[in-house]
Amino acid sequence: MAKTELTIEEKLKALYKLQLVDSELDKIQILRGELPMEVKDLEDEIVGMETRIGRLESGINEIDQEISGYQGAIKDAQALMVKYKKQMDDVRNDREFKALTKELEDQELDVKLAEKRIRDSDKKKETRVAVLDGVKKKLEDMKSVLEVKQSELAKIIEKTEKDEAKLQKASEKAKKSIEARLIKSYTKIRNNYRNGLAVVAVERDACGGCFNKVPAQIQLELSLTKKIIACEHCGRILVDPEILEKKKAAKA
């Protein structure tokens, strides 16, 4: 970049201006608060729940298939029983009678066994259906919570998106006027602090970031704007308020 090198004073002013813009952007983020994350978490949870509902439903389907299998077995056994009972009428000897009786008893047992299995499956199904209903109910609740949060977030975004876009542009523009090395430290310091302050003015002899006293010697050096100076306590870049005053006066 063939840019004329800025003076330290110009660099500090540019950094301070960038800080003001970024602080406005931070305010918008604070206004949105936890909402974007809450919405994202809810959406993820809902997807997980829908998967769970799908699994529960296919489990219940399997049980239904089991039950209809048992019902089919009962029908088959009953058909055989009808057949054997009919054969009883034409029975010719004791051996045949015994054999048919045995067959009938076997079929009766099969029917009883299938009936017991149906009862067991019904119970299993009942439990699963209760779980499914619970999950479905919870899903409905979550969906309505999500709806509320989404519309809240949409309202805030609608209110702030124009400002945000403008500020974003201003931030990008301000960054372009400052050398990459400085932007890197600026960003690093900014990320270190929850309030996002990386460039602060000295106010009442104290650092505007950590409020620790700034020694007179340092304040003097700051006013000379020979180099960029960081607060010895918090590492934030310090700016002599006089420089900023000058800027305000120039603007007015």
State yes or no: residue 233 binds Zn ion (CB under 5 A). yes
Torsion of CA 216, 231, 178, 161, to 10 degrees: -120
Residue 39 or 210: the one with the smaller Cβ distance to Zn ion is 210
Q: Report the residue number, 179 or 232, with the smaller CB distance to Zn ion.
A: 232
Paired tokens of 177: 């006027």
**Tally of CB atoms within 10 A around 41:** 13
Binding residue count for Zn ion, defined by CB under 5 A:
6
DSSP state of 92: -
Sheet containing strand 206-207, strands side by side: 206-207, 199-203, 237-239
**By CB under 5 A, is residue 202 in contact with Zn ion?**
no
CB of 44 to Zn ion, least distance (A): 39
209 binds Zn ion (CB under 5 A): yes
Q: Which of 207, 204, 222, 195 is nearest to 8 (CA)?
A: 222
Site membership for Zn ion, residue 218 (CB under 5 A)? no
- Shortest approach of Zn ion to residue 224 CB, angstroms? 20
In this complex, which beta carbon is closest to Zn ion, that of residue 153 or of residue 210?
210
| Helical spans, DSSP H, in 90-213 | 94-176, 180-192
Question: Least distance from C-beta 243 to Zn ion, angstroms?
Answer: 18
Nearer to Zn ion, 182 or 208 (CB): 208
> Which residues would be at the binding site for Zn ion (CB under 5 A)?
207, 209-210, 231, 233-234
